[in-house]
Structure 1
Amino acid sequence: MSQGAGGGRILVVGDVMTDIIVKPEGPLVRGSDRRASIRSRPGGSGANQAVWLGAMGTRVSFVARVGAADKPHLEAYFKGFCVDPVLVADALLPSGMLVTIVDPDGERSFLTDRGANLALSPSDMPVWLLDDTSMVLVSGYSYFADGPRRAVHCLTEEARRRGIPLAVDAASAGFLAEVGAADFLAWTGGVDLLLCNGEEAAALSGTGELDAQMRLLGQHFPRVVVKRGALGAALGGRAGVAIDLPAPAVEVVDTTGAGDAFAAAFLSAELAGRPPEACLAAGIAAGSAAVGTLGGQPGQGLIRRAGTAPAARTAPTRS
């Protein structure tokens, strides 16, 4: 991916959420009680990606809309992770909230109230930041509602005009099914890199077979990365799978934010000029480290643990 005129900054656009993480001790009992561990953590796909990028030492600015009462402490929080926050205060809507129910195997289900994120508008977009930006990363959640979608179109069209590469993380298989694959693919036309997990790849391509996913999605995006959880990750495009890497066996505490950690590490490595195999390996290492802790953002020691990556496995040449 070629860089634009900027000096290594990634501009992230996405949601700010407060994650309420619930780990029941067993199956929910309809109409009665179940003991559970309940914790509150900062979250949101775009926020997670920005914090991971900042913690990894990558210059990053983050654009989002939040409840007015939350803006001061959120700005301080992001600055603590070396993120330049470009937060717009909403006087009417509260900041978004997400309830995450974590199964014993670490898989998650979500209840989402996007709050002020839904009011993101074209006037909120810091087009001036593109003067010093080498890549724009947009969370797919920004495409699932009319207002945010218009806002990101405003920014991405200007970025494309300036030759700045664009990356999109598909974000949610559930919302992709709701809006429809065809519309999402049309909205993201011109994007250079698609990041998605296996379920999102299946929702967008209509198939569960990895190589077929790559070939079909490669008709819309020059490059596609499929995050495959415990199976690792793959990079490819119109010609199919180009690189397929395994993931290490790790204890899973919570998979929240693992894909965001992957995206941050992959793009950080790419911005540093590392080869594709190394970028994919860095993403897998970060995602594998992230599942070992509760919540979607890095804790103490997590960046260090994300430094070991598996060896690359290059797919055979296909005719």
Structure 2
Amino acid sequence: MAETRFDIVAMGDAIVDVIASCDEDFLVNHRLPKGSMQLLTPQAADSLYAAMGQAREMSGGSAANSMAGIAAMGARSAFIGQVAGDQLGTIFAHDMHALGVHFDTPPLSFGPPTGRCLILVTPDGQRTMNTAPGASHELDVSALDEALVRDSAILFLEGYLFGPARPRAAMMRAVDIAHAAGRKVAFTLSESVCIADRKAGFHAMLDGGGVDLLFANEDEALQLTGRTGLEEALAELSQKVPTLVITRGAAGALAVEDGKTVRIPAMPVPNVVDTTGAGDLFAAGFLTARVKGAPLAKCLSTGAIAAAEIISHYGARPEADLKEWIEL
């Protein structure tokens, strides 16, 4: 790819994760469907936080996690997302800078607090996510750094932020800027819960040529297309985007590009601790390999390696030296 200031710039939720272990009964008692993601009001988040056990805080957000992984793999990443001028906002900005991710979106001086995601992890490593988006859903077109978008090889967008009208408008403006500058746009559906009330918007963007590379897991692909079989979903979606990437958990991953399908197995992980961020880091690995000119199979395997590292410990930010895990 032509030389740019950054390899990938992402737009997404600026969230601080609060992670705690819990047993199955805790989820049942608080009526939290295991493995799901639900949105909370700030008040509901306060109530759940008070009931949680000892927790650890670390910056999160789907696309932000991906940018952290990309930086850890040696590529140049930047992030656009909205925080408030509060303690969690300061933590988020500090963590991004410390990881080598360019982040300079001005914090809000009024309005809701910085977003947080209360993540409950059961003994089997499954995570149940409870998100209070807060300031992250206040991202406005006026906060968009257009020069940053133009000077990044890939613009990466997340489905979590695509729902609210204000950040959606900022994202669509960024798509126009990126394509006008000859850049590529990657999009992740993020989570099945995002699809039901956003399906029309997702399809409009895909049908309009707004996405060059689409990430989804198998369930998301089925929900978006309304199909009952994966092959039918692949046939439909691959007609809408030049590159389609589907993750399948323990069944591995696949990509469809130029009429060809490439499949890889999952990387073996002896001890799955926490699945938080697996999809985020898969996207990070894939995109890092893509900007370095790797073939499609190598992009998939790099994503699988990054995902394997992240599920071997708590949290959605790499702890191992990913440069030693991959060869690009």
Q: Which residue of 2 aligns with 1:246?
A: 265
Distance 1:85 1:8, change over 3 A: closer
Deviation for aligned residue 1:90: 1.2
Q: What's the TM-score once normalised by structure 1's chain length?
A: 0.88
Determine which of 274, 279, 285 is the counterpart of 1:259: 279
Matched, 1:47 2:64: yes
Give the gaps of 5 or more residues in structure 2.
31-49
Q: Which amino acid aligns with 1:206?
A: G
- Partner-residue secondary structure (3-state), 1:40: strand
Deviation for aligned residue 1:211: 2.2
Pairs within 5 Å for 1:79-228: 79-91=97-109, 92-179=111-198, 181-188=199-206, 189-190=208-209, 191-228=211-248
Structure with the larger RCO, 1 or 2 (CA within 8 Å, 6+ apart): 2
Deviation for aligned residue 1:205: 1.8
Tell me, yes or no, if the aligned pair for 2:59 and 2:91 is still in contact at 8 Å: no
Q: Which residue of 2 aligns with 1:20?
A: 18
Deviation for aligned residue 1:22: 2.7
Partners in 2 of 1:256 and 1:87 — Cα distance?
A: 25
Distance 1:281 1:182, change over 3 A: same
Tell me, yes or no, if the aligned pair for 1:4 and 1:162 is still in contact at 8 Å: no
Q: Which residue of 1 aligns with 2:29?
A: 30
Q: Which amino acid aligns with 1:183?
A: G
Deviation for aligned residue 1:73: 4.1
Partners in 2 of 1:289 and 1:83 — Cα distance?
A: 20
Distance 1:21 1:254, change over 3 A: same
Partners in 2 of 1:289 and 1:196 — Cα distance?
A: 20
Give the gaps of 5 or more residues in structure 1.
310-319
Determine which of 302, 305, 313 is the counterpart of 1:282: 302
The alignment yields a C-alpha RMSD, in angstroms, of 2.3
Deviation for aligned residue 1:103: 2.9
Deviation for aligned residue 1:213: 1.9
Deviation for aligned residue 1:102: 2.0
Q: Which amino acid aligns with 1:87?
A: T
Larger mean CA deviation between 42-51 and 205-214 belongs to 205-214
Deviation for aligned residue 1:222: 1.4
Partners in 1 of 2:51 and 2:157 — Cα distance?
A: 38
Distance 1:261 1:36, change over 3 A: same
- Partner-residue secondary structure (3-state), 2:83: strand
- Partner-residue secondary structure (3-state), 2:82: strand
Matched, 1:293 2:313: yes
